[in-house]
């Protein structure tokens, strides 16, 4: 028992240290933003469960805004990560990626606002 | 009277004009024009060229088997159906004619030859004859409605003398009213025949002496089992007959207890005119002026229990109308959530008063699309989340541009 606990604590420490040391600042910024988006999504879900999803269109709109933003920002992060480019899974095109991300967000939120009511 | 002053009086014989002079004189003093006829007079008629010549009818002819002229039971019933009033007095010898008129009004006389007897409340000093009953008017025996029986206090009233036949009515049918009834010791039977177990079924408080019918068209029929109750002899024998018969005749001939309503308005609070349609959840007020006739003129009616219903198949709102000193009744309420065609209904039924039935139809529409609230409070978190996501996108964009 204590072995597993010790082991998991070691793994956690190594992963977090590696993350803090090896990820570039841009990606860390995006990660913080992702955490914030996920947090608002969870808060909304809890609110809807507690109080009820009365204006259902508004609830969907708010919740999906967080999910959509999360997905778009994750894809942005993938494009901005130079390590991905080395393995050639995702082409490394930072300017194009940011422009795409901004454009998609704007159109996405446009739709959401009209559904918000 | 509120409905005219012409009275047709049908008598057994014209000598009754003298023996009932006190009663007729007090009617004349109140402004009525009495037309005395013998009940078998062949020139009798209630209508001429389709219009009624008389507004009220007094039938003091208990022994007459058939009326003369064009008066008969159907024509008298038509007279009542047209809203006119009848005062009918019977006797122990009441004929089938009067029985038929009374039974059409829900009043069943007892068998011929029976008297109302009460050995504990006899009005005669002669012990042998207990057919004159002396009823002291209290809660047990007299209807406690000043509209019908006058407003004299209980302590000022003397007993009422009655000699005649009993009748029964179906109380609780809403139209028949018992005005004077017997004591628990009163019963109805033929005093000149031996008592059998089946002698009578009318006894106790079910022995009705004077009763009334207020028909649905507000016509009033008062039936008394004793014509002698109206006689001069009883009026002058230290009794309350003069007062009670005067009060009952005032009610019967529509001098009292008549209501009318006018100036019915309803509108939204803050406006003066009713719109074509109300909207769901509007605040509206309804007002009506109700007056009653006090014998000479219309005065404001005061009552705490006039109700208003706002109903569409079921009453969604039922409130009391609050009276004011000038007889203006108002109520304020919120239109319910359901839209449709409603009606404002005032149905006022009070014993002794004419029925008041007011109905106004009004439509209620739902919200227009631009009358809903623009932003819903419970959706605030969702609004803020959408906005904050967009704001976050721009903030992140700025940061991404300026970090290495």
- Nearest 5°: CA angle at B130, between B129 and B135? 145
| pLDDT of amino acid A24 | 84
How many DSSP H helices and E strands does chain A contain?
Answer: 5, 0
Q: What is the mean pLDDT of residues B279-295?
A: 92
* Chain segment B302-328, per-residue pLDDT in tens: 999 999 999 999 999 999 999 988 889
Q: Is A62 in contact with B388 (Cβ distance < 8 A)? A: no
- With a cut of 90, say whether residue B89 has pLDDT above it: yes
B137-168 confidence digits (pLDDT tens): 888 888 888 899 888 888 888 889 999 999 99
pLDDT of residue A97: 87
Identify the residue among B385, B388, B404 best suited for mutation to test binding to A, counting A beta carbons within 10 A and taking the highest. Answer: B385
Whole-number Å distance between alpha carbons of B318 and B111: 47
Give the Cα separation of A99 and A57 in Å (integer): 29
Q: Distance between CA atoms of B295 and B254, rounded to whole angstroms?
A: 8
Q: How far is B215 from chain A (nearest CA, A)?
A: 56
State yes or no: pLDDT of B261 exceeds 80: yes
Please name which of B41, B48, B43, B45 lies closest in space to residue B57, comparing C-alpha atoms.
B45
Chunk chain A into consecutive blocks of 10 residues (it has 117) and report each block's average pLDDT, rounded to whole numbers.
86 90 86 94 92 87 93 89 72 82 94 89
pLDDT of residue B121: 83
pLDDT at residue B403 is higher than 90: no
The string of DSSP codes covering A49-99 is: HHH--SSHHHHHHHHHHHHHHHHHHHHHHHHH-HHHHHTTSS---HHHHHH
CA distance, residue A113 to nearest chain B CA (Å): 7
DSSP B322-344: EE-TTSEEEEEEE--S--EEEEE
From chain B, the residues in CB contact with A59 under 8 A are: 379, 382
pLDDT over threshold 70, residue B125: no
Tell me the helices (H) and strands (E) count for chain B, helix number first: 8, 25
How would residue B197 be classed by pLDDT, with cut points 50, 70 and 90?
confident
Work out whether strand B328-334 and strand B283-293 pair parallel, antiparallel, or are unpaired. Answer: antiparallel
* Residue B128 reports pLDDT greater than 70: no
Enumerate the residues of chain A whose CB falls inside 8 A of the CB of residue B376. Answer: 54-55, 58, 117
Measured CA to CA, the distance from residue A59 to residue A65 in angstroms comes to 10
Could you give phi then psi for residue B380, rounded to 5 degrees? -55, -45
- Asked if pLDDT for residue B131 goes beyond 90, the answer is no
Q: What is the mean pLDDT of chain B?
A: 90
Q: Which of B95, B33, B32, B27 is nearest to B61 (CA)?
A: B95
User: Å from A17 to nearest chain B CA?
Assistant: 21
Can you give the pLDDT at residue A91?
Answer: 66
Contact flag A55-B383 (C-beta cutoff 8 Å): no
Distance from CA of A90 to the nearest CA of B (A): 19
Cross-chain Cβ contact B382/A36 below 8 Å? no
Interface membership of A102 toward B (CB under 8 Å): yes
Percent of chain B whose predicted confidence (pLDDT) is above 90: 56
Q: How many CB pairs under 8 A join A and B?
A: 81
Q: What angle do CA B211, B215, B217 make, to 5 degrees?
A: 150
Distance (Å, rounded) from C-alpha B227 to C-alpha B16? 11
Per-residue exposure over B81-99, b if at least 16 CB sit within 10 Å of its own CB, e if not: eebbbbbbbbbbebbebbb
pLDDT over 70 at B124, yes or no: no
Asked if the model's pLDDT at residue B126 lies above 60, the reply is no
The interface residues of chain B toward chain A in range 357-396, judged by CB-CB distance below 8 A, are 376, 378-379, 381-383, 385-386, 388-390, 392-393, 396
Which pLDDT value is given to residue B127? 56
Tell me if chain B has a CB within 8 Å of the CB of A104. Answer: no
All residues of chain B having their beta carbon less than 8 Å from the beta carbon of residue A80 are: 400
Which helix (H) or strand (E) element contains residue B362? strand B356-365
Residue B347 pLDDT exceeds 60: yes
Taking CB atoms and an 8 Å limit, are A55 and B403 in contact across chains? no
Chain B residues with CB under 8 Å of A51 CB are 378
Minimal Cα distance from A64: which residue of B? B386
Q: Which of A25, A54, A113 sits opposite B404 (nearest CB)?
A: A25
pLDDT of residue B172: 81
- Please report the pLDDT score of residue B173 as a whole number: 87
pLDDT band (50, 70, 90) for residue B295: confident
């Amino acid at each position: 028992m204590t072995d597993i606990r010790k082991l998991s604590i070691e793994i956690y420490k190594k992963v977090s240290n590696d993350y803090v040391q090896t990820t570039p600042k841009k990606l860390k910024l995006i990660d913080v933003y992702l955490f914030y988006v996920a947090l608002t999504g969870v808060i909304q879900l809890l609110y809807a469960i507690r109080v009820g999803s009365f204006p259902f269109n508004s609830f969907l709109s708010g919740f999906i805004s967080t999910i959509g933003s999360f997905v778009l920002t994750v894809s942005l992060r993938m494009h901005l990560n130079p390590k991905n480019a080395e393995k050639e899974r995702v082409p490394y095109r930072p300017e194009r990626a940011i422009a795409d991300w901004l454009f998609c967000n704007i159109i996405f939120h446009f739709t959401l606002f009209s559904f918000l009511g | 009277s509120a409905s005219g002053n012409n009275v047709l009086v049908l008598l057994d014989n014209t000598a009754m004009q003298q023996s009932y002079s006190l009663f007729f004189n007090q009617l004349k003093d109140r402004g009525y024009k009495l037309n005395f006829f013998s009940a078998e007079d062949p020139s009798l008629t209630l209508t001429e060229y389709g219009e009624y010549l008389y507004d009220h009818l007094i039938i003091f002819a208990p022994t007459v088997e058939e009326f003369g002229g064009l008066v008969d039971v159907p024509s008298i019933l038509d007279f009542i159906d047209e809203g006119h009033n009848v005062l009918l007095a019977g006797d122990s010898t009441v004929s089938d004619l009067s029985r038929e008129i009374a039974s059409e009004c829900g009043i069943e006389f007892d068998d011929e030859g029976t008297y109302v007897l009460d050995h504990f409340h006899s009005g005669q000093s002669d012990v042998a004859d207990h057919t004159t009953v002396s009823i002291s008017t209290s809660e047990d025996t007299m209807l406690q409605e000043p509209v019908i029986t006058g407003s004299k206090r209980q302590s000022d009233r003397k007993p009422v003398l009655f000699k005649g036949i009993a009748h029964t009515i179906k109380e609780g049918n809403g139209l028949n009213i018992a005005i004077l009834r017997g004591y628990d010791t009163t019963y109805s039977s033929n005093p000149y025949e031996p008592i059998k177990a089946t002698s009578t079924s009318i006894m106790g408080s079910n022995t009705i002496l004077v009763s009334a019918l207020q028909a649905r068209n507000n016509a009033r029929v008062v039936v008394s089992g004793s014509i002698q109750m109206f006689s001069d002899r009883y009026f002058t024998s230290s009794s309350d007959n003069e007062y009670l018969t005067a009060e009952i005749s005032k009610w019967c001939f529509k001098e009292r207890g008549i209501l009318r309503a006018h100036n019915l308005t309803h509108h939204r609070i803050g406006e003066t005119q009713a719109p074509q349609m109300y909207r769901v959840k509007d605040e509206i007020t309804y007002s009506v002026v109700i007056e009653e006739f006090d014998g000479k003129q219309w005065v404001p009616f005061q009552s705490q229990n006039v109700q208003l219903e706002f109903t569409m198949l079921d009453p969604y709102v039922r409130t009391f109308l609050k009276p004011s000193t000038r007889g203006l009744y108002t109520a304020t309420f919120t239109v319910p959530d359901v839209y449709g065609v409603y009606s404002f209904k005032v149905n006022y039924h009070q014993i002794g008063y004419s029925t008041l039935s007011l109905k106004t139809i009004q439509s209620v529409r739902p919200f227009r699309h631009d009358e809903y609230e623009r932003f819903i409070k419970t959706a605030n978190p969702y609004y803020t989340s959408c906005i904050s996501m967009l704001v976050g996108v721009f903030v992140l964009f700025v940061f991404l541009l300026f970090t290495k």
